[in-house]
Structure 1
Amino acid sequence: MIQKPPPTIGSICIVVDADSLSAFVPALAQQIVDHTGAQVKIRLVAGIEDGSSALDTLLALEKMVVRRGKPCWSDRIPVAQLQEFQRGETAPQPDLILDLSTADTKSTGTTTLRPLYNGAAGENALASALFHCHSPQISILREDERGATDIVGEGVASLEAAAGIGGAMEAVWSRVAMLLLAAIDKLDQPAAQSTLAPHPHADVLTRSAVLRRSARMLACEAARAAYRLCCYSPHWRVGWRRPEPDGDVWARRDLGGARWNVLPDPGDHFYADPFPFHHRGRDYIFFEDLDHKTSKGIICVVAFDEHGQPGSAIPVLEEPWHLSYPFLVEAHGNIWMVPEASLSGEIALYRAVEFPYRWERHSVLVSGVEAADATIVHHAGAWHMFAVIRHGVGGYSDTLAIWHAPDLLGPWKPHATNPVLINDRTARPAGNFVLRNGVLMRPVQDCQDGYGAALALARIDRLDESHFEQTIETNLTAGPYWPGHKLHTLNGNGHLETIDGSVIRPKSRLLTRLTEHYYRP
């Protein structure tokens, strides 16, 4: 996906504080070796002691209580685990320095890349930002051999899958690794117009703060266990309506207007990711149907009758892996589906053999990728496919990749600047593109407060094989028009408009009936 770096980079030195060695360091070194083929050495320096002891205490407690011993990149490691990257002679002047430390390691004549977290360097700056604030702004600061500096990469990592501060550190580091590899690939290119914005200084971690957080952590873990015992978590539901003329969400910029109807579900399954489709005078909604007992999704459809009411949910597509987000598109006289199948490592295309109930696997559009929510649009004479990606570590909702093709069937090629965006608030697709007044727009998931927490409506300012720019125009959350806690898909086709959102769904049928009254639109 990313072009190989210039062959002039033969040696890279990673500089790390000796008192804060984590599993991230050798993991990053190995990624760089695999990606560049360069000789990578790790150099330990004396960092600035600033809350390391308190952080070590917090990480140890989290590993026992939150992660139950599961390994994580934030785990402390002995120096011996770095031997592979410390053997042999160290180049007297490496071609590139990656500085992860808090020390002043300027080296005249060598370009340095340094990750910053809300403008500050080092592991403790990252941990403090996560502890006191939220997912920090990642910036890759480049200092060339003459001492000139610029920002060559930026992003905000999603923490949706993170367990505690340690898991959040791993999630952020996974995106730091992506940004560093991209910066290495473009080492000889000028940076885009970007400056380091000022950020509030995060407080230093203290033992008293860690102890207070640890007490809250134990209480929260107990509350989560009790909630999971009594309720399905999460439980998504689908809403649908006939939009009023010029009164859909895109026109109104809110969820008001015609009343939303809830698509009934069996209680022990949830419905999500609805895509409406109109075919030969009839309306259909395709959606993810997830069984809470197995946590595995399949694709179902409901057909609307002559009175405009939805029928029963009928399964139409199942694979050995989880399926969701049944994106639909018409081309070449056929109806096609591109469901999310990230666990398969592919973005696959299915063709309707007998619409809407029979589908066959047709081809693989992109292979060797862990991709979610693939969404396709034909724009300016080319096909473009958007999806969020990851490489086995970190969140699922912050890293946007684009592919382009002359035809829906391919061949699909990666965008020149993949990943085009790393941002938990603006990256993940949330439904079909729309064209309003000649302007192409797309809904996106805003996951800064957790997966699927809210939606945003984005205007596409530029989209071609080598550029992508968008501007967020509107933010949407669940509320009086659509009661619930979250909102993460928006679709419409002029006949039906659909959304989804999460609610509290007790496992007791009696309590379920009581909560259904509360969540009625």
Structure 2
Amino acid sequence: MIRTDLWRVGIVKAPMAAIIAAGSLDGFEMLWLPAEGPLRFMADPFGLWKDGLLHIFVETYDYRTRHGAIDVLILDEKLNLLAREPALRESWHLSYPFVFEADGAIWLLPEAYKSGRLTLYRATEFPWRWEAEERFVFPEAAIDATPVRTASGWRIFYTPPDPKPWRTSALKLARADCLFGPWKVSEEAPILLDRGGARMGGTPLWQDDRLLLPTQDCRKTYGGAIAIREMRDAGDPAPQIAAGPHIAAPCAFHPYVDGLHTMSAAGPVTLVDAKRTVRSFRHLGIKIARAF
């Protein structure tokens, strides 16, 4: 029997600050987006409201090709699904489509470490067409890179791809005065080493003078839950990081109760993805077919 993780994207009808304050997803109204079917899933949701419509960017993954791409789903104010189309395709795997507005443009910063670099894309025809921004140069390939603007400039929190154990346990921080850089990594060593919550898992949230970072608890399984980390001074090269609420998939998410690894703010709603683990011989058959 082969274990396969399947993720599903949901919309929580509450702002992210309310969920963090409650420390739980219990009791919040939930709307699930359609499941993808066998051996496929949508994950890593990030949202942007524009012209009264909610644009949700997601990773789409198929175990048969082992390749991820970025799709966009468009919903109206009542969260009715209006359209779904491809947004970004590359020859390498794409995931974690962090979308944001800055400097009069809309940007997409997806995870693509297998390409050997971190690429920033600018919308040329939102939300369908994107162009790589050549002025953006980052010092290393990055996993789940998460930008945030502070009073003293830009910060990107990310996980390095090497060494391999760091992919689920390390958090690094880079700084720049403007979005295009030049980017400087604060320290060669990670600012945090902790399988219980270091790899980024959603949008940072300012609360008074604190920056709240959703990270992934990977102690028992990849993306087991969301661990909130609290940072007092994101401008410090070695900021102090404290533990905040630990948010897991509630029983009401059944059968998607085996993990939760993205929580992103989208105005009055919050986007999450939850995991169910299935065990079958189907995935084994695909692996055998690839071997020949």
Shared fold by TM > 0.5? yes
Residue 313 of structure 1, aligned match among 49, 69, 84? 84
Q: What is the rounded CA distance, in whole Å, between the counterparts of 1:335 and 1:249 in structure 2?
A: 27
User: Which residue matches 1:330?
Assistant: 101
Partner Cα distance (1:478, 1:494) in 2: 21
Moved more, 350-359 or 462-471: 462-471
Q: Does residue 487 of the first structure (1) align with residue 260 of the second (2)?
A: yes
Q: What is the CA-CA distance between 1:507 and the residue it aligns to?
A: 7.8
Higher helix share: 1
Cα distance in structure 1, aligned partners of 2:146 and 2:92: 20
Q: Deviations over 1:377-415 (max 9, x none)?
A: 111321000000132533511121111000111111111
Deviation at 1:352, TM superposition (A): 0.6
Relative CO higher for 1 or 2, CA cutoff 8 Å, sep ≥ 6? Answer: 2
**Larger Rg belongs to:** 1
How far, CA to CA, are the matches of 1:359 and 1:399 in structure 2? Answer: 30
CA-CA distance at 1:299 after TM superposition: 0.5
Residue 406 of structure 1 corresponds to which residue in structure 2? 177
Deviations 1:355-387 (A, max 9, x none): 1111111134314x3421000111132100000
One-letter code aligned to 2:276:
V
Pairing 1:235–2:6 present = yes
Q: Does structure 1 conserve the Cα–Cα contact (< 8 Å) formed by 2:52 and 2:77?
A: no
Q: How far apart, CA to CA, are the structure 2 residues paired with 1:328 and 1:346? A: 18
For 1:133-152, list aligned pairs within 5 A: none
Q: Which residue in the other structure is 2:74 paired with?
A: 303
Q: 1:307 Cα deviation (Å)?
A: 4.1
Query: Which residue of 497, 514, 519 maps to 2:270?
Result: 497
Distance 1:276 1:427 in 2: 22
- Partners of 1:273 and 1:287 within 8 A in 2: yes
The answer to whether the 8 Å contact 1:398/1:425 transfers is yes
The sequence identity of aligned pairs, in percent, is 33
Which ranges in structure 2 are unaligned for 5 or more consecutive residues? 282-292
Equivalent positions of 1:362-511 (< 5 A) are 362-363=133-134, 364-367=136-139, 369-391=140-162, 393-416=164-187, 418-483=189-254, 484-504=257-277
Q: In the alignment, what sits opposite 2:65?
A: 294
| 1:52 alignment counterpart | none
TM-score for the superposition, normalised by structure 2: 0.88
> Secondary structure at the residue paired with 2:114?
helix
The aligned residue for residue 263 of structure 1 is 33
Deviation at 1:469, TM superposition (A): 1.4
Q: Is the 8 A contact 1:243 1:258 kept in 2?
A: yes
CA change 1:462–1:254 in 2 (3 A) is same
Rounded Cα–Cα distance in structure 2 between residues aligned with 1:360 and 1:265: 29
Number of equivalenced pairs: 277
1:242 shift after superposition: 2.3
Measured in 2, the distance between the counterparts of 1:431 and 1:266 equals: 22
The residue matched to 1:503 in structure 2 has which SS?
strand
Report what 1:25 is aligned to. Answer: none
Residue 346 in structure 1 maps to residue 117 in structure 2: yes
- Structure 1 residue 259 displacement after superposition: 1.9
Q: CA RMSD in A?
A: 2.1
Find the aligned partners of 2:22 and 2:137 in 1 and give their Cα distance. 35
Deviations 1:49-105 (A, max 9, x none): xxxxxxxxxxxxxxxxxxxxxxxxxxxxxxxxxxxxxxxxxxxxxxxxxxxxxxxxx
Cα deviations across residues 123-142 of structure 1 (Å, max 9, x unaligned)?
A: xxxxxxxxxxxxxxxxxxxx
Quote the Cα distance in structure 2 between the aligned partners of 1:302 and 1:375.
21
Offset from partner CA, 1:420-450 (integer Å, 9 cap, x none): 2221112111111101234221111111112
CA distance in 2, matches of 1:360, 1:506: 40
The alpha carbon displacement at 1:247 in A equals: 7.2
Task: Give the Cα–Cα distance (whole angstroms) in 1 for the partners of residues 210 and 165 of structure 2.
Answer: 33
Distance 1:357 1:324, change over 3 A: same
Task: Tell me the distance in 1 between the aligned counterparts of 2:8 and 2:241.
Answer: 29
Amino acid at match of 2:226: L
- How far apart, CA to CA, are the structure 1 residues paired with 2:279 and 2:75? 29
Q: Hey, which of these two has a bigger chunk of strand by percent?
A: 2
Unaligned runs of 5+ in 1: 1-225, 509-521
Secondary structure in 2 aligned to 1:481? helix
**1:83 aligned residue:** none
TM-score by length of 1: 0.50
Q: For residue 250 of structure 1, what is the aligned residue in structure 2?
A: 20
Shift of 1:264: 0.6
